[in-house]
Amino acid sequence: MLQAPNDHSLLNDAPMAKPGENRQCNEAYPVDTSTELRALFDLYATTGNSIEVSFRKMVPWLKVGERATHYLHPYPAKLLPHIAHFFLASEALCSNEGTVLDPFGGTGTVALETVLSGRIAAYSDTNPLARAIAKTKVTPIDIEIIQPKIEALHTRFLRSRSKNPPNVINIRKWYSDSIISQLSRLKAAIEGELDDDYRHFFLISFSATARKVSIADPRLSVPVQQEFSPTELKEKEKVWARFSEQLSNNISRAKNFKNLLSSSPHIIDAGVDARSILRELGGHLDENSVELIITSPPYAGAQKYIRASSLSLGWLGFAGEGELKPLENKTIGREHLLKSVVDSAVKTSVPEANEVISRIRKINPARAAICAVYLNEMEASIIQMTRVLKAGGYAVIVIGNNHVCGEAFLSSEYISSIFNSLGLRTKLKLIDEIKSRGLMTKRNKTASMITREWVLVFQKSFN
């Protein structure tokens, strides 16, 4: 059963680790968190109760807002960098040279914090937009040579006669003809940049701009049309100006990233599916090769990563009209299932989850199937995480619970059961308040807003 959170606010007053204690500190990681981490582990070992914390307060030296390249491009349900930072700012869970895997890597929040900590980052995600953002975030670029490249890009943009926009779903619903034409010319101009790293940097800034100049509501993750004033619409028409603003902000971020970096980033591209974690040279990532996993998996039935990314996926040429569905089908937590799957009354390996799912089935069989398929697919990914984790290695899972058809669907509990059944022991359960992970649309009436996140730490046994 889920334990009622006790008031352990004393932890926020626990003696703060001093700069330079234990771990080799650098500018990106100025404080060692080992003392606080140990205090939390000890408290959980003594009480067995979930502990309420605030990661923002536990990592006060990390300001909410800009840090390195974390905010290069928007994306739904990004992980709070403080959470990754807190666990990486100590050698308690991972040595300074260890590999840290994020199988649901999204835009690379964990990968970025990992390389800033000087360790090796392994990363996978199904969404090609997320992978492109993550790659750009962890690739340092030389700011000194970007200015002439921008000037050349501007000249190519002004001269471009490119007329054919890429395959962007419902393109005319989101843009005026003039904006479509300007974006198409800008995309063609960026393609003329021959250096991969700079081209990708420009493309990510372009993708963020393409969303901003659309008439999609910026407060919602999935595109939903919004009314804009004539002045606002006029501003959107100035595509190069909007792109320049985005680029200039991203250049500041890239500068900050380079300043914080103490060694060359080492990244392992672990593929596109958390249920099949790969190594770059082919084959699966080796057993016992990862010291630490930090990941925030999708939630059950509340994810719209592909729909949320649809404009960017089209503009960047990853997936257009007719090509989004196959991508969505690979996404865990998706909302659309075949009727035959719904009809088959899918069961999971977690008895408590099956009880809740059978109650949901009486109200809405499709929602019940979404929950069951979600948990089974999460189990497949947990089996992979367990396989690649070293003996004694840790997995930090950030997950939320939600309500489905009025029933509490306690993903944190079911996921804990799955880890435990695979032989990993629960070492810590933390609860962090979150405002909103921006997952929902106004139209989603069946799911409630998620306001708390569980941060669960499991350890693989030594034998």
Ligand X SMILES: C[S@@+](CC[C@H](N)C(=O)[O-])C[C@H]1O[C@@H](n2cnc3c(N)ncnc32)[C@H](O)[C@@H]1O
Q: Rounded distance, CA 79 to CA 107, Å?
A: 9
Tell me the residue type at 332: I
Size of the site for ligand X (CB under 6 A): 23
Per CB under 6 A, 88 contacts ligand X = no
Q: Which is nearer to ligand X, 17 or 375 (CB)?
A: 375
First-residue to last-residue Cα distance in the chain = 28
- Piece of the chain touching ligand X by CB under 6 A; list 47-55, 71-79, 209-217, 242-250: 71-79
How many CB atoms are closer than 10 A to CB 231?
A: 7
Q: Which is nearer to ligand X, 130 or 189 (CB)?
A: 130
**51-53/407-409 β-pairing:** unpaired
The tokens of 173 are what? Answer: 């619903």
What is the smallest separation between the CB atom of 219 and ligand X, expressed in angstroms?
18
Per CB under 6 A, 175 contacts ligand X = no
- CA triplet 363, 367, 368: central angle to 5 degrees? 75
Q: Measure Cα distances from 59 to 37, 288, 419, 433 in Å.
A: 12, 30, 28, 15
Note whether 400 and 412 are within 8 A (CB): yes
Q: Measure Cα distances from 62 to 65, 109, 249, 363, 455 in Å.
A: 9, 14, 19, 45, 19
Which residue in 90, 209, 296, 411 binds ligand X (CB under 6 A)?
296
List binders of ligand X among 135-174 (CB under 6 A): none
Per CB under 6 A, 208 contacts ligand X = no
Which residue in 29, 71, 87, 104 binds ligand X (CB under 6 A)?
104
Closest by CA position to 247, among listed 157, 317, 143, 158? 143
- Piece of the chain touching ligand X by CB under 6 A; list 123-131, 315-323, 345-353, 408-416: 123-131
Per CB under 6 A, 130 contacts ligand X = yes
Which residue in 127, 184, 416, 459 binds ligand X (CB under 6 A)?
127
Note whether 374 and 333 are within 8 A (CB): yes
Q: Which is nearer to ligand X, 274 or 431 (CB)?
A: 274
Closest by CA position to 319, among listed 106, 75, 127? 127
Q: How many residues does the chain have?
A: 463
Q: Rounded distance, CA 379 to CA 418, Å?
A: 7
Q: Which is nearer to ligand X, 45 or 380 (CB)?
A: 380
Q: In the 8-state DSSP scheme, what is residue 10?
A: G
What is the smallest separation between the CB atom of 274 and ligand X, expressed in angstroms?
4
- What are residue 371's phi and psi, to 5 degrees? -65, -45
Q: Which is nearer to ligand X, 109 or 289 (CB)?
A: 109
Which residue in 23, 67, 78, 367 binds ligand X (CB under 6 A)?
78
Q: Which is nearer to ligand X, 156 or 307 (CB)?
A: 307
Per CB under 6 A, 87 contacts ligand X = no
Per CB under 6 A, 100 contacts ligand X = no
Per CB under 6 A, 298 contacts ligand X = yes
Per CB under 6 A, 274 contacts ligand X = yes
Q: Which is nearer to ligand X, 295 or 417 (CB)?
A: 295
Which residue in 98, 106, 118, 128 binds ligand X (CB under 6 A)?
106
Per CB under 6 A, 75 contacts ligand X = yes
**Which residues make Cβ contacts (< 8 Å) with residue 239, sequence separation at least 6?**
179, 182, 183, 186, 209, 213
- Piece of the chain touching ligand X by CB under 6 A; list 208-216, 327-335, 353-361, 423-431: 327-335
Applying CB under 6 A, which residues contact ligand X?
A: 75, 77-79, 103-104, 106-107, 109, 124-127, 130, 273-275, 296, 298, 305, 330-332
